[in-house]
């Protein structure tokens, strides 16, 4: 986690905004200093390089998300936990759409200086989903399917959430949660044979 001063917060907010518009590669330290209204000396005092800035930003965002997911899951299990995790992830995407766009664009980049940090944080967030999935369907753990299923639930929520926020924002959040959960409810599958998969 990044320890936060007013200047640091202003820098991170400016960096998220610009990167959501132009991507991380299209963002320069000059742009960030100007948008944040801080001197370049002050920017570099807080973050030694653009790589350090984005490592801090993505790390902070993913750590806050993981903490929110963990808190939401506490006291629930199985399908109830999956419901609350999807709801919480969608709420986080709605509350921080610019950051969600930056994370969605960066999540499978393997060339970043902050790759290791990013993978560790992604792993922690996905682990919350995986735990709930294994509770709901213990045999998924044995076959290694649970990890892929966690990515599936996360990817479904991220894509449907950004689709909603960028192209269909009038729709109430509760309808979006309901549509995502309906996808996992089994109502798309035939009642009997596929439930025996």
CA pair distance 151, 107, nearest whole angstrom: 12
CA pair distance 111, 142, nearest whole angstrom: 32
Applying CB under 8 A, among 21, 30, 116, 169 the residue interacting with a copy of itself is: 21
What angle separates helix 173-184 from helix 145-167, to the nearest 10 degrees? Answer: 150
**Site pattern 109..138 for a copy of itself (x: CB under 8 A):** xxx---------------------x--xx-
Applying CB under 8 A, among 5, 25, 28, 49 the residue interacting with a copy of itself is: 25
Contacts of 134 (CB under 8 A, 6+ apart): 140, 141, 146
| Between 106 and 128, CB nearer to a copy of itself | 106
Q: Specify the residue for token string 């209204």.
A: 37
CB 159 → a copy of itself: shortest distance, Å? 2
Which of these ranges, 4-12, 48-56, 61-69, 184-192, lies near a copy of itself under the rule CB under 8 A?
Answer: 184-192
| 8 Å CB contact between 176 and 161 | yes
CB 137 → a copy of itself: shortest distance, Å? 5
Residue 180 found at the interface with a copy of itself (CB under 8 A): yes
CA pair distance 67, 195, nearest whole angstrom: 33
Give the pair of three-digit tokens for residue 86: 């999807």
Residue 8 found at the interface with a copy of itself (CB under 8 A): no
Q: Which of residues 70-109 bind a copy of itself (CB under 8 A)?
A: 78-79, 82, 101, 104-109
* Full 3-state SS string of 99-125: HHHHHHHHCCCCCCCCHHHHHHHHHHH
- Provide the binding-site residues for a copy of itself, judged by CB under 8 A: 21-26, 78-79, 82, 101, 104-111, 133, 136-137, 140, 143-145, 147-149, 151-160, 162-164, 166, 168, 171, 175-176, 178-191, 194-195, 197
């Amino acid at each position: 986690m990044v320890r936060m001063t007013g200047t640091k917060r202003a820098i991170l907010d400016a960096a998220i905004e610009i990167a959501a518009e132009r991507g991380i590669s299209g963002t320069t330290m000059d742009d960030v200093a100007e948008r944040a209204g801080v001197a370049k000396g002050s920017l570099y005092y807080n973050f030694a390089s653009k790589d350090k800035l984005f490592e801090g930003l993505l790390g902070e965002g993913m750590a806050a998300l993981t903490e929110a997911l963990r808190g939401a899951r506490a006291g629930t299990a199985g399908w109830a936990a999956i419901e609350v995790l999807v709801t919480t992830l969608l709420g986080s995407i709605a509350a921080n759409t610019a950051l969600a766009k930056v994370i969605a664009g960066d999540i499978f980049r393997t060339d970043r200086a902050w790759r290791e940090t990013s993978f560790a944080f992604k792993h922690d967030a996905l682990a919350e989903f995986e735990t709930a999935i294994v509770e709901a369907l213990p045999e998924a753990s044995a076959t290694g399917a649970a990890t892929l299923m966690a990515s599936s639930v996360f990817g479904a929520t991220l894509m449907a959430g950004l689709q909603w926020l960028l192209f269909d924002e009038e729709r109430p959040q509760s309808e979006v949660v309901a549509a995502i959960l309906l996808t996992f409810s089994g109502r798309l599958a035939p009642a009997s044979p596929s439930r025996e998969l």
